[in-house]
Amino acid sequence: MASAGELIREAVTSWPGVTETTHRFGGTEYLYGKKEIGHVHGDRLADLPLPRDLHDRVIAAGRAQPHHVLPETGWVSVWIEGPQDAAGVIEGGSCGWVRCSAQTP
């Protein structure tokens, strides 16, 4: 079975306009154009920027935590325990992709 990081990479890089690069603090960063839609630290942690209302809802539902370093931002951290957690990260990343792609003429 593929690891969580591999499942996330396969899904996210299949979205039109998304590229991947090395994240400055380690791991893999996903970009839509020049805008980051999230990054993954191996198979253990994903950090995603979300609109404030969605940010608050996913934290309240226990699906994510405030960002592990910058909790006052609109970013969330999702701890990954295994491949079964990839779908939640992919869903959160798709919010950033939809938002960014909608802003591009």
Mean pLDDT in order along the chain per 10 residues (105 residues):
93 94 93 92 93 90 93 93 92 78 63
Counted domains in the chain: 1
Residue 103's pLDDT is 67
* 18-22 vs 28-32, strand pairing mode: antiparallel
How many CB atoms are located within 10 Å of the residue 100 CB? 19
- What distance in Å separates the CA atoms of residue 92 and residue 90, rounded to the nearest whole number? 5
Residue 94's pLDDT is 84
Residue 79's pLDDT is 95
DSSP alpha helix (H) spans, the chain: 4-12, 52-60, 86-103
Domain span holding position 33:
4-103
- What distance in Å separates the CA atoms of residue 62 and residue 78, rounded to the nearest whole number? 10
Residue 8's pLDDT is 95
Residue 66's pLDDT is 97
- What distance in Å separates the CA atoms of residue 28 and residue 5, rounded to the nearest whole number? 9
Q: Model's pTM, two decimal places?
A: 0.89
Residue 92's pLDDT is 83
Instruction: Provide the 3-class DSSP secondary structure of residue 45.
Output: strand
Q: What is the CATH number of the domain that holds 60?
A: 3.90.1150.30
